Amino acid sequence: MKGRVLMVQGTASHVGKSVLVTALCRIFRQDGFRVAPFKAQNMSLNSYVTPDGGEIGRAQAVQAEAAGIDPTVDMNPILLKPEAESRSQVVLLGKPLRSAGARDYFGMRSQLWDAVATSLDRLRQQFEVVVIEGAGSPAEVNLKDGEIVNMRVARYSNAPVVLVADIDRGGVFASLVGTLDLLEPAERALVRALVVNKFRGDATLFDSGVTFLEERTGIPVAGVVPYFHDIHIPEEDSVVLEKPRHRNKGSVLDVAVIRLPRISNFDDFDPLERESAVGLRYVDSAAALGSPDLIILPGSKATMTDLLWLRHRGLAQAITSLVKKGTAIIGICGGYQMLGERLEDPHGIESSQLQADGLGLLPVTTHFAPTKETHRIRGRVSFPRGLLKDAVDASVDGYEIHMGHTSGESIDAPFRIVERSGTPWDRPDGAVDPSGRVMGTYIHGLFHNATLRRSVLQSLAVLKGVSLPASGEELDREVEYDRLAALVRSSLNMDLVYQITGLEVAAS
């Protein structure tokens, strides 16, 4: 028997669909069901590597973790990773398929739909319930003929749809009523509940709004979910970087992350933002850079293009000038490649530019290759000086996602990989200058390793001549998922949710 399905669609992007799906996955798991997430097509530069080396959207990996299962490529069969020149890399079932423009992509939809349907069917054979996430809005009439992520998925699986709107943006009534009005009758019939998300203040003040929506649409409002800022769930969309950031009270270290136009995997830096000692900033100009204690060059989906952007913005010169004066810098993945002397792209993998000079801060050269490396890794710190001097031999867990190989003669490596994609491995990773203050690595998730992170911060504090405050408790994601589930459970009519999903909760 196929597992039940429940679909969460939104009136627009960024209304909170991913977080609501995460919460529902946790709730169903708590109530004893084998549950999995699913999103047919995701567009994101924040990706994740599954245990078997496939690449999927970060949100589906988070949702799988909330469900208590390992992520698989079936949970996100199509991942679009925006590149330069209005194109995206199409990742199909965890592996790069091709680079495509919008018109090319629509021509591929027959092949892509087969993967969507097959993946969803597989999940329904393995799990009792699959919580499906839509993308953007189902009412984008100009894109409707080619869509394979919203109502086409709902119709295929006969999924009851929960339609979510973000009241914090304003216009919640027009968003919900207008979206429903633009749906075809058969599609509207699939919408079984409405949710008002991100409500600030006393939710009872919205009681008249609930009445209006139910009388106007004939569809029950399943709940009003409050706005929260104290539950820590990884964000996927770079729009979160546009939110104002408030420096941690008592912070003694200034850390500047370069906000590249095609920044990827920026959740690498979430643990730094939670450190009370750190004031974390995302900067996109030389004027905003100032004189931080640490500069981080993050990953990029278009390294060559973003390197050119650094030069046009005056950031390349500002960065190299600061580093020559002693400022520490860490480059991750694409950022590591930029730190080198040269980048070579003879196959046009990254751009039409065949080669470019790097920032010249590490004696390495990157050669781009057609094959993408996607691996979960385990390693250890192997460099005894500089930022890592207090973390020698500490274990490091993370993952690699890159299409280049970086090498150089007579260079020291900060890390040694001991396991790659579940296979024993014994290779160096990255490069570091003799001082240990200039470092590059391909390891994403670096700062999620507590011993390494605290070593870096302690070294920076010593260099600055300040005392590092004691670190708080490490974030327990299991606790955060439970807190999210409790908030959403208390805000929604879960009896209605179970009724429309066709599930029964066992009596306790």
Residues marked active site are found at 333, 444
Task: For residue 101, report the phi and psi dihedrals to the nearest 5 degrees.
Answer: -85, 175
Give the sign of the dihedral formed by CA 484, CA 236, CA 256, CA 380: positive
- Is-contact 165 201, C-beta < 8 A? no
Residue with tokens 């799906």: 21
Produce one character per residue of 144-160: b if its CB has 16 or more CB atoms within 10 Å, e if not. Answer: beebbbbbbbbebbebb
CB contact at 8 A, 226 and 1:
no
Q: Which residue pairs, CB below 8 angstroms and at least 24 apart, start in 283-288?
A: 283/256, 283/257, 283/258, 283/259, 284/258, 284/259, 284/313, 284/315, 285/313, 285/314, 285/315, 286/313, 286/314, 286/315, 286/317, 286/318
Structure token digits, residue 178: 């207008």
* Three-state SS at 351: coil
How is residue 497 written in tokens? Answer: 């949710």
Q: Which two tokens stand for residue 453?
A: 């992170």
Which residues neighbour 342 within 8 Å (Cβ) at sequence distance 6 or greater? 355, 356, 357, 358, 365, 366
Instruction: State which amino acid sits at residue 144.
Output: K
Do residues 194 and 176 make contact, with C-beta atoms less than 8 angstroms apart? yes
Burial class (CB in 10 A: 0-12, 13-18, 19+), 30: middle
Angle between helix axes 315-324 and 303-312 (nearest 10 degrees) is 80
234 sits in the region (left: phi over 0; alpha: psi -120 to 50; else beta) called beta
